[in-house]
Amino acid sequence: MLSEKSEGIQEAVLTLKELTEDEKIQLQCEAREMYEHTMASAERFGRIEGKREGKIEGKRETAEKMLRDGMDDEQIQKYTGLSQKDIEEIRYTL
C-alpha cells in the first residue's frame, strides 16, 4: 500500500514537472513572439521615421538651391512647404 502511494506520488511529481516544463516552453514562446513583434514594430517605425526625415532633408536641399538662385521666400515656401523660419535658418547656414 505504501509503495502504491509512493508510485502515485512519483507519477504526480513527474506530471507536475512535465506541466512545469510545458509552461516554461509556453512562456518562452510567448516571450519570443513579443520580441519579434517589438522588433517588427521598431523596424516599421524606423522606416517611417527615415522617410519623414528624408522628405524634410529633400525640402531643405531644394530650398537651399532656390535661395542660391535668388528666388524669394514666398516662392520657396510655396514649392517646398517650409516655414519662413525654416527658410531663414537655411539662409543663415549658407
Burial track 31-50 (b if 16+ CB lie within 10 A, e otherwise):
eeeeeeeeeeeeeeeeeeee
Say whether pLDDT at 2 is over 50: no
Structural domain that includes position 15 = 2-93
CB atoms within 10 A of CB 85: 8
- Mean pLDDT over 6-11 rounds to 74
Domain count, the chain: 1
Query: Is the full-model pTM beyond 0.75?
Result: no
